[in-house]
Structure 1
Amino acid sequence: MRNIFVDGYNVINSWPELRDIKDYSFEAARQKLIDYLQNYAAFKGYKIILVFDAHMVSGSLQKKEKISEHLSVVYTKEGETADTYIEKTIDSIGRKTEVCVVTSDSLEQQLVFQRGAIRISSLEFYFDVKETENRISVKTQKKYSEKRHLLEDRIQKDVLEKLEKIRRSR
């Protein structure tokens, strides 16, 4: 299973609709990102660790929240950036599993690459998530259109004929 680490605030500041949302509410932008990633991870079968840094929040403690089987959210502790958390975690995982890091921070990209992880820019990831969202939409539309249940499919033929006569007589 592919493990993807996402620098949350980096992504929020890079994705157009999340940037607009964060202008009035960081919490709403974080929740929207979580929603996107939850669908993406479940569809692709990836494990995503979304990291928000709280290094500027006085007295904050590290907090991990498992959203689903495929998505976990980490809020770092005071004085720890998302980059630092991701680097430490990648070091502990080693090169045993496939790891990918989503960030547009070029220095961070170089560091994770040196540790054996694949790096993806926030915008590249945006287009991958959007493409996956479209594929999910097409798949669900197809599924529901195949199972269309019309009223005329559920009514007895003689009742349907009587209703049709009443409709035409008006």
Structure 2
Amino acid sequence: MQNQYWETTDYRASVSRRFVMLKPQAFKVPSEAFVRDFRTPVNPLSQGFTKCCYPYQKIDSDTEREFAVIMEAGSEAGVMRWMKPGIGQFRIEYAAGQSYEPDFVVETAKNEMSDPVVQAKAKAARKWVHHANDHAKDTGGKLWTYVLIPHDAVEPSATITSLVSTYAQAAELV
């Protein structure tokens, strides 16, 4: 076969069901360890949340722990609940069958913000938010906002309002 031409196609958004049931998350804790409150510096597991969908969360870095603290204190922005999705619970396809699973909303290192893979994920997420908001408008649901936050912006003095106003990206059909 000669003179073949392949063009990248986009995916078509469809709502197959209104929601995905959140499943319990399992964590392994070494026998000599114990689960600590999330306000203390990095540990494999944290507890003590009031707004998280889960009673325990696996915190992988101090930046994630600090972001969890910000989310818990986010009442000025109307934060009612948050979660750090478990593996396979929240997938956004961004390129030819490759899925992206956000940490919270979206968080990445500042020096990687212009990385082509990060930008491809952001583009896919903005499109996902666009379709999710179209669906929400049709069904009376809540609107979504996509936020790509560099890791060095996550600090104890940050608030959800300041992070969203600084880093929110418009939902778009690109």
Task: With the length of structure 2 as denominator, give the TM-score of the two structures.
Answer: 0.28
Task: With the length of structure 1 as denominator, give the TM-score of the two structures.
Answer: 0.28
Higher normalized contact order (CA 8 Å, seq sep 6+, divided by chain length):
1
